[in-house]
Amino acid sequence: MRRLVGVALLAAAAAGFSACALPPDAPSVIASANGTGPDDAYVVASVAQEYEVLRLLGVESESQRLHVIDGRPFDVISVTDPETQEARDIWFDISRFFGRSL
């Protein structure tokens, strides 16, 4: 399902449609991973992009925590699917921006 959403968003972007104010690579972020763990984390460029990915996945955040594994930082966001009430963690690789000053 997530991959289908990513493909649909890529097709819409290619057609010139913009459903929301996402960074240009946000649809490819969703299509490139599943966010199930550190080896399959979504690679994002900002916290705002993390929450845009959650919005596109249709889940609600419950909590957020930082994990550093082998020097690589990850945000792990616990979410709930509002339709099924399923709870799970979604992993984001935040090494592109973590620890960098503004």
Of 54-58, 62-66, 84-88, 91-95, minimum mean pLDDT range: 54-58
Euclidean distance between CA atoms 65 and 97, whole angstroms: 16
Q: Residue 48: inside a domain, yes or no?
A: yes
Domain membership flag for residue 28: yes
23-80 confidence digits (pLDDT tens): 555 667 777 789 999 999 999 999 999 999 999 999 999 999 999 999 999 999 999 9
pLDDT reported for residue 14: 38
Asked whether residue 49 is domain-assigned, the answer is yes
pLDDT at 99: 86
| The total number of structural domains that make up the chain | 1
- Within 10 Å of residue 39's Cβ, how many Cβ atoms? 9
Domain span at 26:
2-93
The answer as to whether 33 is a domain residue is yes
User: What are the E-state strand segments in 19-86?
Assistant: 42-43, 60-69, 72-80
